[in-house]
Structure formats: structure tokens, C-alpha cells
Structure 1
């Protein structure tokens, strides 16, 4: 018998001061049996970072030709492709060719650093690609907020994310490795 996904529900309030975006949303996240809770929470954080009323979670790990999250335009074109982890360069290039903008959220400290050293020069050629890294300590703190039913408030300003639930308050910051094809 195949294992089933675990369903997480998140009620989120996002105040993105940099983009002037303010959204209240109820999200449903399906955690694939092979997915870690850290990765699930990074998916949620990626959604918060790019919050938009049409931003949706895709089939993710279950679909090779889809990102984790995407934003489609009115003509079924992909405006934003959000990827997680350490994908092969070929997959990133394909995403950049299919979407107006691609954001890759990397994690897993040492492995991510090695991956970046190996792929940096090739990926920097993609003008619509941004790569953001979150360190292990911050990801572990983020994972402490995980629960099957979450209510989260997120405020984003000047590259800092303040995230809180009823009991915890976090301040998170990604390290930008690449912004729109420019090395940082």
C-alpha cells in the first residue's frame, strides 16, 4: 500500500512592505511521504516571500515538469517559477526558459555550498534567475513553527522576514547568491 500525503493547513497574514502586498490567505500543503518537515516549511516560507492571490502550490515532488510553486498569468504563461533544493542545472535552465522569473530557495548548508560552487558560473548566465540560501540554524527555527494547523503572521521588509505564531517569533534572513542573473 502506498503512503499518503500528510495535509497541513496554514492561515497566513502577509504584510510585504517592500512590494506593498498585503494578503490574508488559507493554504493547504500536502507533505509528500518522502518530504521532510524542514522542506515543507521552506515551501511555505517561499510562498510567503512571493505572496500573491494567484500564487499556488503545484504537485511538487510528484511532478517533474512543475515547480514547487508557480504564478500563472491570464494567458496560462508562467510568471513566476519557485523551486527548492539543489536541482540539476538542466532543470533550472528549463525553468528559466519557461518562466518570466525563477526563484530558487536553497538549503542544507554544506551540500548547498558545494552545489553553488559547481553551478555558479553556468547559472549566473540566466538573467531571470534569483537564488536565495537559508542556513541550517534558521531553517531549524522555522521548522519549530510546523504544525498540522498553523496560524502565521509574516512581515517582510528590507530582506528580513518576521514570522510569528501564537507563541513564537522569528527573524529570518536569506543570503542572496544571485539576483536576476547578477552575482551578489
Structure 2
């Protein structure tokens, strides 16, 4: 018998002061039995950090060719491709060729990813944005997850603050290009 996904609900009051973006997000996010909660949290945070009209979650782990999140045109073209975690260099190469913009939101240490990505030829690697979050922040947030979550997310001066009414979490958002990330600059 196949295991089914668990549905998590997120009500997010987003205040992205850096972009003058203020909105309420109502998200229903399935979590596959094999998906770790840290990855689920990273997907939800990526949705908030890179919020834009039309941004939606990919079809899930069973559709390995899909990104974690994407924005598509009415004609089906991929406008924005967002992966989370540690995508392979070849995957980023294909994504960069398919999408107008490509982003990675990760908690992985730079040296681990840089070693993998430096070996790969990645199309327009100087245009791929890498957003790094501390793994401890994501893990701590994952430990507080309920099936229904109310978050207040604020982004100001590249600092992310998340509050669920009981706990407050903060982290610096490190934003760079993939090339700069690999070179350590």
C-alpha cells in the first residue's frame, strides 16, 4: 500500500520591506512521506522570499523534472525556476536553459555545493541566484511545524524574521550568483 502525502497549511503574513511587497499567502503544501520537514520548510520559505504573482509549487518529488517552485507563462513557458537544497550541476544547467531566471535556495555549506557545481558546465551560471539560509534556523523552524501554521515573515535589509506567535526565528539572507558562490566571493 502506497503512503500518501501529508498536507500542511500555512497562513503567512509577508512583509518584504526590501521589495515593498506586502501580501497574505494561503498555502496548502503536500509533504511526501520521504520528504524531510527541513526541505518542506525550505520550500515554503523560498515561496515567501521569492514571492511573485503566479509563483506555484512544482508537482512534487514524484515529478523529478519539475523544480520546487516555478512561474510559467500562459503559454507554458517557464519564466522562473526555483530549486531548493542541493540540486546537481547538470540539473541547474538544464534549468538555466529552460527558464528566464533560475534560483537556488539552500542551507548546504558552500564548500559542499561549490565542489559539485565547479565540476559542471552550467549555462549562464553568472545569472543564477543562490540564496543561502542557515541550516540551524530552518531545522529549528521545522521542529515547530504543525499541520496548520500561522507565520509572520519579514524581510528587511536581507534579514529574514519568522514568527509563529510562540517562537521567533531570524537569519541573514546571503544572496549571490552561482559563480560567486562557487568562488567563495
Q: TM-score, normalised by structure 1?
A: 0.88
Q: How far apart, in 1, do the equivalents of 2:177 and 2:123 lie?
A: 9
Alpha-carbon distance, 1:125 to partner: 4.5
For residues 48-99 of structure 1, the C-alpha deviation after alignment (integer angstroms, 9 at most, x for no partner) is 1011231111112111221001112343222211101212211101100111
Aligned residues: 181
Corresponding residue number in structure 2 for 1:138: 137
Higher strand proportion: 1
Please give the root-mean-square deviation of Cα atoms over the aligned residues, in Å: 2.0
Secondary structure of 1:127's match? helix
Unaligned runs of at least 5 residues, structure 1: none
CA contact (8 A) 1:124 1:181 kept: no
Corresponding residue number in structure 1 for 2:159: 160
Secondary structure of 1:172's match? strand
Q: Which residue, out of 85, 106, 115, partners 1:117? A: 115
Q: How far apart, in 2, do the equivalents of 1:22 and 1:181 lie?
A: 31
Secondary structure of 2:162's match? strand
Q: TM-score, normalised by structure 2?
A: 0.88
Secondary structure of 2:19's match? coil
Q: Does 1:100 align with 2:100?
A: yes
Is 91-100 or 114-123 further displaced after alignment? 114-123
CA contact (8 A) 1:85 1:107 kept: yes
Corresponding residue number in structure 1 for 2:33: 33
Q: How far apart, in 2, do the equivalents of 1:157 and 1:43 lie?
A: 20
Q: How far apart, in 2, do the equivalents of 1:11 and 1:143 lie?
A: 15
Q: How far apart, in 2, do the equivalents of 1:157 and 1:28 lie?
A: 26
Corresponding residue number in structure 2 for 1:88: 88
Corresponding residue number in structure 2 for 1:49: 49
Alpha-carbon distance, 1:25 to partner: 1.9
Q: Which residue, out of 162, 177, 180, partners 1:179? A: 177
Corresponding residue number in structure 2 for 1:151: 150
Alpha-carbon distance, 1:124 to partner: 8.4
Alpha-carbon distance, 1:17 to partner: 1.3
